[in-house]
Structure 1
Amino acid sequence: MSTPAEKSAEALNRGQELHQKGLFDQATRAYFEALKLAPADHAPLASLAAVQYELGNYTGSALYSEKALRLLGNDQEADSRREELHLRLAKSYALSRSLDNARNAVAKLAASAEREALESSVALQSPAMAATQLRTKVLDEVPRTKPAYQNEPEYCAIGLDNAEAAYDDDIALSTAERLSWMFAGVGDARNFYRTLIALPNGEARTGRERQYHFTLVDLNPAVFARNLISLELLSDLDSMLEGNEALACLIYVFVSQVMPPFAYTKLQEAISSLLQKLEDGNPVNAWVYVPESQRPAICHHLRLWQQNLRGKYTTKQFRLWAQEQALRQKLEKDGEFSVPPGCQEDDDKFDEFGIMMPNDRFLREHESELKQLLEDYSSGKGTSEQIEDYVDQHWKLNVTLVDLDFDEFKDRQGAGSPDMPAHPTLVFHMLHPGEVEDTARAAEGKGFMACFEVFFRCVAFSLDALKSRLTVEVAVSEMNDYLERLRYDVLPSRQGGKQGTLDPSTFPKAYDRIHLSNIPDYVGGALSSFIYATPALKPKSSLSSSVLLNNSAFEDYQQFLAEYTLLGDTKSIEDNFRVQLRDDSPSFMDWEEMEMSDYTNWTKVAPATLSPANRMSRSELESFIHRHLLKVLLPYPRDPDDIDCVYTPLNPTIIFRLVAHLHSVGYPAHWLSDILERILQGTVATTVRAPRQAVEDPGSVSQSYPSLNVSLKPWLAEMTTLGALWQGLLPFGLLFENFLLPALSSIREYHISFPLCPIESQNRPHFMLVFWNEDSGSHPGSNLRDTLLDDENSDGSEKAKAVRESGVWVLTTYRWATKTRTASFWLRSDEVETMRGSNWSAALWRSDTWNQVTPWVVVSKEIVDGEQWTT
């Protein structure tokens, strides 16, 4: 009969076999069985420490290591086992950032190269600045995407999609006392308005009154200048009664390109009222929060609209552009949308004259001369030219359609007229999807004005019913920047004090719904949505987005997901990003009938941690990160003039954010540390390749190649600088020596300017800085990618290898000032001094065409020192 010690040894051996197979749960049970049979034996505890370490549970690993060391005591014959336990203990503490404990454990190790490396690693993690201060500085100073040559934010004041309420049965049945929404890329706020309309009906159905918070996010302050005008006009319910001039003004602002003088007068009154409140620091009203820091930018656009766009445009221009664009829209939508009942006459007049007709009352009271001209024209006594001349002389521009700052860029590009609202018939269908007949009946066949009155009166009545329980927060911000700052509680817009009863410290940090519009098309697609937006959701809540920029570039939604996530199937995406594709998404009934321009919804899955059985293997994880890295560094060439161009805007900062995310869902820190270490050494052994097609698909992202050593030396100065900035922000410690990364105090900001040159497609986020060692020989030819590529398809000559090793540096993480043509970037100073002391040049290149944009400038003459990262 076996003794307890023999049974323990048998269980221990069984556990080790299971451990080797990656069956960690079964191995753990076997180790506990061995421990129960031999509680004085250190071996089961040491094995438990090993398996917990492999699972990424470094606290558990340290606990078992400490217990095993106590059992070993001072046994001189156990020195090697003691050393192994101290080593695992030191690594566990270092990875979990328990630095004092890590130092103590390292001190007990025998002198060795491994001890020196761990000492160096622990020293690397000693904070040079507080984590919040570091994160704020990184978010302020280090861009997350490549710059466009033109950095004035585009003005997208006009919505392009059907207005849908972000309100469904799931959110209606929530038990929360406060519900919260975020609308990013809010545009003309049509989805926000639709959601407002839905709330009183939802309360009536559920019998519950609640608090409601809306965060409206857009990059361009002009968008909020326009929306605040609408909210100003909506804020007084009495002004929304049928036939009221303020209601008419609101409709003209929202729908029309030109407006009659009475509406323009109301518009200017609203602008003056808003300006006074914003400039005096007063609340816009009791339920709208406009951060103090964002008011000047909004006021700037309101003042320009007071000045009638400085006389740049005429009513005739707007009217003719309206006709041209509207006719094109109707032809494109031929047969899709019928004219609403009772609106045929107004529809015809818009087609003929390019104006949305006032209703009969306004014609009588304010436009009697136009009324007579229309009657004369109908009876054959007058001409269409007389009507057009009258409108061109007396009617006014809808000034809110123009951002003069962005207009200046469009002028330089020869981009033509400002964007105009759609044809009133199309706008009506977009505001009332599925409700056209009912709404037209409610308007009693009185034309377009009456139809739009129905919509905005519904909004006004909802506001009146809810405003004591409603908060609307304005946020002028890039979407992903706002979401990331929200996650880490470093939002400048929420650092101000109260405005009336609104206290930003009480605003939500997690939302019931996040509506991303089509913004992901421009900033990294589904990958960015999952990295940035998912953490800002409550568990089991949803985010939604659509594809408008380039939907015809994708065969189906699976390809869209593969392109951005580089995962080949939906289950892998759901597992690794802790989301679930909602089968009630408007975008599809099944994959074959998918309409990518409609919205697709994803739900945040809880709990957040992957089980070992569902996560990628260590080698799969490394390949996944390499695939993202090579796509960022070496995107496949694309045509910048292609209207369906799929953007590749991400820079290497996404790798550190992706690594942090992967750790948060359960991947062990020592796996991720090892992967980062090899990247920062400048060469990786990998079975993946830089993209070999413009748009990835499930097959291409699953492709594996023979292992190959790929040089990353051209990006090493940038990657190691970013590594130094990010190592204090990662949620785990690093296990590599500090010589790989520069000290924060050695990182400095630099500026370099370039001569003026003609550049096409300036608004594409595909520009980069290239530094060239003139001693390496002639400059790269027309395609820099061929020079940088290091695989079977690259130039394998010794000269090409030498260039990749030390002849060229590429930088995509920088800020660009269009007006001065200056690039500003943070970089380790030793590498910059190397360039200054040698014969290096710099030029601006594109990463879509891989062609040179500007002439070369001499680095030693043109580079200018800025401040140090830490002082």
Structure 2
Amino acid sequence: MEMLVNMMQQMVSMGKVPTNEQDWYKLTKVFLPPAELRARHPGFQQAWSMMTQGADDVEWNIARKIHSHIENEWKTNITLFDSNYDNPKYYPGGDGYKTLSGDVFEPVDHIEDFNQRNKEQPKGPLKNDTNATAWDTFNPFFDEISNVLKGLAGHITVELIAGGLSEELAKMRLGGDVTRPTSFPRKYTRMWLSNVPDYTHGPMNIAQYVVPSLQDDQQAGASCNCLLNTGSWSNDDHYFYTVICSEAVMDVLVLGALPLPHPLEDLASRDELTTWLTRVLFNTLIPGRTRLPPENVRLPNNLVAFFGLFMHLHCVGYPAHWLSEFLGRLLSGSMVSDIVPYGNMWPIPLEDMRRRVPSRHVRTDPWLVEFENIVATAYYAIPFPVTSMLPTGFSCEPEDIVVWEAGVTATLPFSTSWNPLMGYGSPYEPVTRLLFYRPSADAPGTLISGMPWIFEGAASPPPGTFFVLTAQELVQYETHIRFRLSTCRIERMRAEKWSMVLVSCPVTGWHLHPDIVLRPLSNKS
């Protein structure tokens, strides 16, 4: 990794003349203030004059004065603070600031390149001036930003939102953003997502949760890039799984909105839709394995997101009775299919879309309780009747589903290291599932390791003795977790003394977090 970083830094710095400020930074670990402010800082102007006049070293007493002043008077750049590095368990002695080995002048070079491209009368780049400073580059850049903001006075609003991208956009569309002023926009012409989709299931969730928040305009678009796991994808087709187009997408992906619903003749056939939905569902129920960073694909999406996709397909234009029949087969607890989940290293290769096996019965009963949560919560918004297809005892009232909290104590030795000998079990990645089981069921480790065989139709353990929740409300590995279940189900489970374990879907498969101590569940409605 260090070699890769060094190579990238060398590529960026090609053609650049070393500046005196680089020597200054080695001495002080700060950028040089503008000339107008240097008198406020003891020794700064003296040291800078020595450097620009060719001195090999700054006098020792001046350097000591500068270091003392910076140590006592300057404040650390708080934007570099990361609470992960303020955790005494995983980073003993850490102060919240990660040791950075990157080139601090790389952003300066990028801004200088931007300045050069946007000058009306380009001059020689500052990177060729040995006395050029970061201030000389950023000052004109922010001057232009200031001019733009003045020109847009009364026409621009900056809104800061603390929350998940998909969730907050959904609130805007559905009227749940009750704390936002009514004058604020709910739909947008441009959306730049950076690489947030790397953490929110990629292009599928962009299409499902982001694109509907674009204005009905052919020029409207949502853009992003991929940084978390770029090395996992051999080409653009691989990244999109051929659901977009065959043309190469260079650097940045842009998705636009189309009027909905589409004419049925423009959509996939019923067989094609069923095949695709089945594959998405099966790979959600039984995930494969993922590689170490920087090729880590977080596993997997959950059933709440799958059901959201399911409902979105009706908005796209697929007939309600197609979707209703598929959901009915799923809720029966068993499906007949010739599609198999992909159990090897993710990402899923393109050729897997053509893989088939002889048709067989597969079990969906371990996940039916979660569908009770979902269907009951969304019951009055589902665009087709579902009452007749619900299993016996299933609730269809939203108020029956309650958020519960369980205290946990985990002894799993989490690791943030990329060392293959230690594995990669980061305590910060939201890749968990909950397994609930009766005392008479198999040991949790057996259930977890045997889940692919159970899915493929194994008779034991029988339906009703265990179930899985793929989505949780909150997971704090070392303190508590929150999840949704009906009150009646919780009461039955307490009476029958059910147990629960937290399961992760990390690098090498599903692992039990050993010795989790479950305190009594408490209602968190």
TM-score (norm 1): 0.52
- Displacement of 1:328: 8.9
Corresponding residue number in structure 2 for 1:807? 465
Q: Per the alignment, do residues 771 and 675 of structure 1 end up closer, same or farther by CA in structure 2, a change over 3 Å counting?
A: same
AA of the residue aligned to 2:312: H
Q: How many residues align?
A: 494
- CA distance in 1 between partners of 2:333 and 2:63 (Å): 68
Q: Per the alignment, do residues 819 and 841 of structure 1 end up closer, same or farther by CA in structure 2, a change over 3 Å counting?
A: closer
Corresponding residue number in structure 2 for 1:688? 339
Corresponding residue number in structure 1 for 2:258? 605
Are the equivalent residues in 1 in contact too, given 2:300–2:431 (CA < 8 A)?
yes
- CA distance in 1 between partners of 2:387 and 2:474 (Å): 35
Are the equivalent residues in 1 in contact too, given 2:80–2:97 (CA < 8 A)?
no
Where in structure 2 are the equivalents of 1:532-551 lying within 5 Å? Answer: 532-539=209-216, 540=218, 541-551=220-230
1:345 equivalent to 2:20? Answer yes
Q: Per the alignment, do residues 388 and 775 of structure 1 end up closer, same or farther by CA in structure 2, a change over 3 Å counting?
A: farther
Aligned counterpart for 1:367 among listed residues 18, 36, 41 = 41
Corresponding residue number in structure 1 for 2:523? 866
Q: Per the alignment, do residues 450 and 766 of structure 1 end up closer, same or farther by CA in structure 2, a change over 3 Å counting?
A: same
Where in structure 2 are the equivalents of 1:151-170 lying within 5 Å? Answer: none
AA of the residue aligned to 1:334: Q
Aligned counterpart for 2:206 among listed residues 529, 543, 550 = 529
AA of the residue aligned to 2:75: L
- CA distance in 2 between partners of 1:569 and 1:535 (Å): 18
- CA distance in 2 between partners of 1:735 and 1:430 (Å): 59
Are the equivalent residues in 1 in contact too, given 2:402–2:486 (CA < 8 A)?
yes
Corresponding residue number in structure 2 for 1:851? 511
Percent of aligned pairs with the same amino acid? 20
Corresponding residue number in structure 1 for 2:240? 561
Are the equivalent residues in 2 in contact too, given 1:340–1:425 (CA < 8 A)?
no
More moved, 416-425 vs 454-463? 416-425
Are the equivalent residues in 2 in contact too, given 1:429–1:436 (CA < 8 A)?
no
- CA distance in 1 between partners of 2:523 and 2:35 (Å): 64
- Displacement of 1:785: 4.3
SS in 2 for 1:476: coil
AA of the residue aligned to 1:822: H
SS in 1 for 2:356: coil
- CA distance in 2 between partners of 1:420 and 1:381 (Å): 27
- Displacement of 1:784: 1.8
Aligned counterpart for 1:656 among listed residues 296, 307, 312 = 307
Corresponding residue number in structure 1 for 2:191? 514
Are the equivalent residues in 2 in contact too, given 1:373–1:386 (CA < 8 A)?
no
Are the equivalent residues in 2 in contact too, given 1:769–1:845 (CA < 8 A)?
yes
Give the gaps of 5 or more residues in structure 1. Answer: 1-324, 495-503, 563-567, 572-580, 582-589
1:717 equivalent to 2:390? Answer no
Where in structure 2 are the equivalents of 1:178-189 lying within 5 Å? Answer: none
Corresponding residue number in structure 2 for 1:97? none
Q: Per the alignment, do residues 432 and 477 of structure 1 end up closer, same or farther by CA in structure 2, a change over 3 Å counting?
A: farther
- CA distance in 2 between partners of 1:816 and 1:777 (Å): 27
| 1:636-687 deviation digits (Å, cap 9, x = unpaired) | 1224x43320112421111221111100111011111111122122112222
| 1:706-728 deviation digits (Å, cap 9, x = unpaired) | 32211012212112221111222
Where in structure 2 are the equivalents of 1:159-558 lying within 5 Å? Answer: 331-338=7-14, 344-351=19-26, 353-363=28-38, 365-367=39-41, 369-375=43-49, 383=58, 386=61, 389-395=64-70, 396-403=74-81, 405-409=83-87, 412-413=90-91, 417-418=97-98, 423-433=103-113, 435-436=115-116, 441=124, 445=129, 446-494=132-180, 504-539=181-216, 540=218, 541-558=220-237
Q: Per the alignment, do residues 419 and 520 of structure 1 end up closer, same or farther by CA in structure 2, a change over 3 Å counting?
A: farther
SS in 2 for 1:724: helix
SS in 1 for 2:296: coil
AA of the residue aligned to 1:345: N
Are the equivalent residues in 2 in contact too, given 1:512–1:542 (CA < 8 A)?
yes
Q: Per the alignment, do residues 383 and 717 of structure 1 end up closer, same or farther by CA in structure 2, a change over 3 Å counting?
A: same
SS in 2 for 1:784: helix
Aligned counterpart for 1:827 among listed residues 464, 469, 485 = 485
SS in 2 for 1:863: coil
| 1:603-660 deviation digits (Å, cap 9, x = unpaired) | 2223x22333232222322222222222222111224x43320112421111221111
- Displacement of 1:815: 2.4
- CA distance in 1 between partners of 2:462 and 2:60 (Å): 68
| 1:8-63 deviation digits (Å, cap 9, x = unpaired) | xxxxxxxxxxxxxxxxxxxxxxxxxxxxxxxxxxxxxxxxxxxxxxxxxxxxxxxx
Q: Per the alignment, do residues 857 and 449 of structure 1 end up closer, same or farther by CA in structure 2, a change over 3 Å counting?
A: closer
Are the equivalent residues in 2 in contact too, given 1:350–1:356 (CA < 8 A)?
yes
Q: Per the alignment, do residues 440 and 632 of structure 1 end up closer, same or farther by CA in structure 2, a change over 3 Å counting?
A: farther
Are the equivalent residues in 2 in contact too, given 1:771–1:810 (CA < 8 A)?
yes
Where in structure 2 are the equivalents of 1:665-684 lying within 5 Å? Answer: 665-684=316-335
Where in structure 2 are the equivalents of 1:95-106 lying within 5 Å? Answer: none
Corresponding residue number in structure 1 for 2:420? none
- Displacement of 1:769: 1.4
| 1:165-203 deviation digits (Å, cap 9, x = unpaired) | xxxxxxxxxxxxxxxxxxxxxxxxxxxxxxxxxxxxxxx
- Displacement of 1:352: 5.0
Answer 1 or 2: higher relative contact order, Cα 8 Å, separation at least 6: 1
Q: Which has the larger radius of gyration?
A: 1
Structure showing the higher helix proportion among its residues: 1
TM-score (norm 2): 0.84
- Displacement of 1:340: 5.6
SS in 2 for 1:825: strand
Are the equivalent residues in 1 in contact too, given 2:449–2:510 (CA < 8 A)?
yes
